Amino acid sequence: MNKKVVRGLAVGAAAFALAGALGGLGLWRGLEWKSWDARMRLFAAPSRAASDIVLILVDQYSLDFYKKQGVSWPWPRQMYAPLLGFLKTGGAKAVFFDLVMTEPSPLADDDLMLAKAIGESGIVVLPVALSADDKETAPEAEAFLKRKASAADVRPWAEKFLSATADLPVLLDQCRGGANVQVKPDEDGIYRRLPLLFRYKGVPVPGVALALAEAAAGPEGASGVRLDSDGQMLVRFFGPTGTYRGYPAATIINSYLQTTENKKPQIEPREFAGKVVLIGVSAVGLQDIKTSPLSGVVPGVEIQAAALDSLWHRRYLRPTPVVLDLFLALLWALLAGVGITVLRRSSHMFGAAVVLALLPASSSMAGFAAGTWIRFILPEAAVLLAVIGAAVLNYAVEGRQRRFLKSAFRYYLSPHVIERVIDDPKQLRLGGVKRDVTSFFSDVAGFTSISEALGPEALVSLLNVYLSEMTDIILDSGGTLDKYEGDAIVAFWNAPLDIPDHALRACRAALACQKRLAEMAPEFEKRIGRPVRARIGLNTGPAVVGNMGSTRRFDYTAMGDTINLAARLESAGKQYGVHLLAGESTVAAAGDTVVAREVDRLRVVGKTQPVRIYELIGERGSVPAPVLERLAVFERLLASYRRREWDAVLASCGALEGDPVAAVYAARSLRFKAEPPPDDWDFVFDLKMK
């Protein structure tokens, strides 16, 4: 297995272990709940809340309404009797009466009137407050809990309680059942989950949601529910406070009185048909205010309404097994460790880190949308630790090498070529490969006389300026600098990177070099009293490219006849008085984009096969019309020369005054008129010097 993959797996495993250890210390718990709240807010949809769960609230409006009539809080209990009768008449399925009444009313028959209404409705569930304190429980309350024990198969119950407080026995005897209201929020005071079943001395006591689900749908109302590892149901909150339809208690009581007087009620009783009603308080001064993931101030009965909605309509969030969360955390951590380790470029690592960080978020979001709680913080922490660990190791192990390579090669290779070498350092081993390249060889014309006229410091300064300008052009075009030989520049294209149009790029670079030299001519003339001109030779063909030298020192270079011919063409420029010669293979590969004229057929020293050589004029579209006209005249001159029409050649030369190549052919034609060449002569000029 690749060493980097192994290193990445090790980093991922270590990151997972560290994240798991920190999770075991409880570090992630609070963050997980905050991420839970964020997901709850993101997927909140108040319109999806159940319409068959409604609230009747003793709100500030109701308190103020009856206070004006001389009725202060707490209200006489007989005031709730018409409210219960109204709901029964309307066809409500069940009613939870979340008002604790443990002490007898000071008003005569007050408790009896409420008890009668509870008994006549037959749908009322009363609150019970269980406690872990070992204190005395009223015998009537204990008997009530045993008599109304839940038959639901919900496991496990969260806590065992030792005592209980319930309403007056006269009320308990008439109600449908009881429900525990003593539930704890999470550590940060927010209610996100609730137990469904509690145990009091071996007796199963339902919570509010379970008791109402049983009242509305029978024992099957809570079947199949999935609890978390603490034995609690994860509540889905569809919106902030006010999500469930709420009615002021004063409005409902008044509506009942209106019906007894044959008046149209504010609220029709039929609005409660088939609904479960929770009666509680919402006025802040009555101290039943809680906090949900979506609201900082929520009436306690509204928390219970959300829990009932989740249970009754099977919309609770299903927790995933802890082993699945651990598996996902390990999977993401290993993927992050390997992914970051095998990458080299910082931009690629950053992009991968972003994608990897989104994986746990995406899975937890997708799970939440499907009604499943997939933990987010543990796998996210594992991923981030793996990303950081892998990046640090990459920097420590490979960063030094990368910085060295960039520093060493930035003067010889273009930036993208350096990146290629960094991505695959094996390219720096000794050895070479055969591939087609376009070779560039340039030399400063008359450099010997220039060097004799300048002192060493001035000469070095001149060379630095010249070589810097030419090298920038070569590297910017994708070329690779092979070497400097005094004033000579050797470069090539198509290695180590593949460049399909390498011949065209080389031609453009050569033309750009000559143009830049022409622009710099006034500056050089000021410094040395003459312009600086350079000859360039280009040739395209196969060469051996790679690292050549010893095991202790080597150069990335190109070797072969293609490279040698480029050097010969540079030198041949002196014979023809031109500054940019290219082999026929280069011109053919560059195509019609480049304007060139055939100069001659040439046989260089050491070779038997001749080659056609061309002078590069410029890119098509940029060459002036007069120049194109002179090129057409030269074509006719060359055709006449190869037909041995010496007088026609001389006539064409007259129209090409100032053309050094035409002058060469004029001299040859005059010589051949006097001494004609053999009949089998192939019109190839043999270059006698390198």
pLDDT digits (tens, 9 = 90+) for 625-641: 999 999 999 999 999 99
Percent with pLDDT over 90 in the chain: 65
Residue 538 sits at the vertex; the CA angle it makes with 537 and 539, to the nearest 5 degrees, is 130
Residue 482 identity (one-letter amino acid): D
Q: List, for residues 195-239, the tens digit of each pLDDT value.
A: 998 988 888 899 999 999 988 887 776 777 888 888 899 999 999
Is the pLDDT higher at 417 or at 2? 2
Q: Which amino acid is at 542?
A: P
Close Cβ partners of 136 (under 8 Å, ≥ 6 residues apart): 163
Is residue 536 within 8 A of residue 579, CB to CB? The reply is: yes
What pLDDT, on the 0 to 100 scale, is given for residue 240? 94
Extended strands (E) in 567-677: 580-583, 594-603, 611-619
Contact of 116 with 81, CB cutoff 8 Å: yes
Tell whether 611 and 505 lie within a shared domain: yes
Work out the pLDDT band at 163, boundaries 50, 70, 90.
very high
pLDDT band at 350 (very low <50, low <70, confident <90, very high): confident
Task: Please state, in angstroms and rounded to a whole number, the distance separating the CA atoms of residues 209 and 212.
Answer: 5
Give the pLDDT confidence score for residue 302 in this predicted structure: 95
**Mean per-residue pLDDT for 341-351?**
82
187 in a domain, yes or no?
Answer: no
Residues 611 and 649 in one domain: no
- Facing residues of 611 across strands? 602
User: Is the domain of 488 the same as that of 542?
Assistant: yes
The average pLDDT across 651-660 equals 92
Kindly report the average pLDDT of the chain as a whole number: 89
648 found inside a domain: yes
Beta bridge partners of 435: 543
CA distance 239 to 244: 9
pLDDT higher than threshold 70 for residue 547: yes
Closest C-alpha to 40, from 236, 310, 189: 236
> What range does the domain containing 665 cover?
625-690
Alpha-carbon span 136 to 131, nearest angstrom: 11
With bands split at pLDDT 50, 70 and 90, how would you rate the model's confidence at 421?
low
| C-alpha–C-alpha distance, residues 31 and 364, integer Å | 14
Residue 441, SS3? strand
Q: Are 96 and 60 contained in the same domain? A: yes
Q: What is the pLDDT of residue 667?
A: 95
Q: Report the Cα 231 to chain-centroid distance in Å.
A: 37
The reply to whether 284 and 265 lie within a common domain is yes
Q: Which residue has the tokens 């060295």?
A: 404
pLDDT greater at residue 24 or residue 504: 504
276 phi, psi to nearest 5 deg: -100, 130
Q: Is 109 part of any domain?
A: yes
- The number of angstroms, rounded, from the C-alpha of 132 to the middle of its chain's C-alpha atoms is 50
> Is the domain of 101 the same as that of 228?
yes
Same domain membership, residue 435 and residue 403: no
In this structure, is residue 155 part of a structural domain? no
pLDDT reading at 429 higher than 60: no
d(CA 33, CA 364): 13
Query: According to the model, what pLDDT value does residue 111 have?
Result: 93
Q: Are residues 513 and 604 in the same domain?
A: yes
Q: Is 248 among the domain residues? A: yes
- DSSP bridge pairs for 206: 197
CB atoms closer than 10 angstroms to residue 631: 17
- Cα distance between residue 18 and residue 383, in whole Å: 11
Q: Are 123 and 241 in the same domain?
A: yes
Half-sphere exposure of 155 (CA within 13 A, CB side): 1
Q: Is residue 157 scored above 60 in pLDDT?
A: no
| pTM of the predicted model as reported, rounded to 2 decimal places | 0.62
Instruction: Provide the number of structural domains found in the chain.
Output: 4
* pLDDT tens, position by position, 369-409: 999 999 999 999 999 999 999 888 887 776 666 666 666 56
- Of the residues 358, 392, 409, the one at which a domain ends: 409
Picking from 582, 586, 557, 584, the residue whose alpha carbon sits closest to that of residue 568 is 582
What is the rounded CA–CA span in Å between residue 120 and residue 107?
21
pLDDT given for residue 409 in this prediction: 61
Is 161 a domain residue? no
User: Of the residues 409, 432, 465, which one is the last residue of a structural domain?
Assistant: 409
Size of the chain, expressed as the number of residues it contains: 690
Asked whether 576 and 569 are in contact (CB, 8 A), the reply is no
Same domain assignment for residues 440 and 420: yes
Tell me the three state secondary structure of residue 313. coil
Q: Which residue has the higher pLDDT, 183 or 690?
A: 183
Residues 487 and 555 in one domain: yes
- Which of 448-463 are b and which e, b meaning 16 or more Cβ less than 10 Å from the residue's Cβ? eebbeebeeeebeebb
Domain boundary among 288, 312, 336: 312
Q: Residue 138 domain-assigned?
A: no
Cis peptide before 156 (omega within 30 of 0): yes
685 plus 571 within the same structural domain: no
CATH number for 432: 3.30.70.1230
628-to-42, 275, 593, 595 alpha-carbon distances in Å: 71, 95, 14, 9
Torsion angle of C-alpha atoms 48, 53, 57, 61, degrees rounded to 10: 50
| pLDDT at residue 590 in the model | 96
Asked if residue 475 belongs to a domain, the reply is: yes
